[in-house]
């Protein structure tokens, strides 16, 4: 009985805790994946990453303004439910949350499914990883949002076919910034196979990371395997 009372007190305290949740009101949206609450706390949505628009010394990335404006229209002034995973805060003291509107809309998933964000799952916060992967796969297949930019840029790409491949690699490397301490890339191929690539391996540079891991054991625990060759 005493344990039940203590658990109930924790659940109703409204304080961020692992696997808990809280109600809050959005004061303003910072960019596509980050916003501020009325109490001044910043929230970073888990599992996805929108193109940069406000990062210091970093140019506005393609489709960044569209993603930021979409999130502003969706969240500004709204009462939301924040659900936490294993880590309620990141190293910048921002809340890490899955965000739900009062009508049940899962905002993180919607941004990925509508093509405003790429998935960026960082262990141990992986509760919705499979859902996000499915949502991104659908967005890619339908050429939604930022995925449609690839078709628009095909003509420009053909003009650059004769440029050294080194330039292409450098551009890819600049676009992919791994989380601190997590350098192993996790990727899901067209067959749905989950494969991880360690730095220095044959396919590492060409691989688009859908998840990042610190160790091979961490990748394997998430259901990824090493390349067969």
Catalytic site residues? 44, 52, 94
User: Running DSSP on this structure, what letter comes out for residue 176?
Assistant: -
CB of 147 closer than 8 Å to CB of 169: no
Residues 6+ apart with CB under 8 A from 206: 172
Task: Report which of 72, 64, 92 is spatially closest to residue 27, judged by C-alpha positions.
Answer: 72
Q: Is 207 helix (H, G, I), strand (E, B) or coil?
A: coil
Residue 24: CB atoms within 10 A of its CB come to 21
CB of 32 closer than 8 Å to CB of 71: yes
């Amino acid at each position: 009985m005493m344990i039940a009372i203590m658990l109930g007190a924790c659940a109703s305290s409204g304080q961020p805790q692992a696997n808990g949740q809280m109600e809050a009101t959005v004061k303003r949206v910072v960019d596509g994946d980050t916003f501020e609450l009325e109490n001044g706390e910043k929230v970073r949505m888990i599992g996805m990453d929108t193109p940069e628009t406000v990062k210091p010394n970093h140019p506005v990335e393609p489709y960044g303004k569209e993603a930021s404006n979409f999130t502003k229209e969706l969240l500004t002034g709204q009462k939301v439910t924040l659900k936490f995973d294993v880590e309620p805060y990141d190293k910048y003291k921002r809340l890490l949350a899955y965000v739900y509107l009062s009508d049940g809309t899962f905002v993180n998933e919607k941004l990925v499914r509508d093509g405003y964000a790429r998935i960026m799952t960082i262990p141990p916060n992986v509760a919705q990883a499979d859902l996000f992967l499915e949502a991104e796969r659908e967005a890619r297949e339908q050429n939604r949002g930022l995925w449609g930019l690839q078709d628009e840029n095909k003509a420009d790409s053909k003009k650059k076919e004769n440029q050294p491949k080194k330039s292409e690699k450098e551009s890819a490397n600049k676009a992919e910034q791994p989380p601190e301490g997590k350098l192993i890339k996790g990727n899901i191929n067209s067959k749905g196979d989950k494969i991880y690539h360690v730095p220095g391996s044959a396919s590492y540079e060409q691989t688009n990371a859908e998840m990042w891991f610190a160790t091979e054991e961490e990748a394997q625990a998430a259901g990824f395997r090493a390349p067969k060759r």
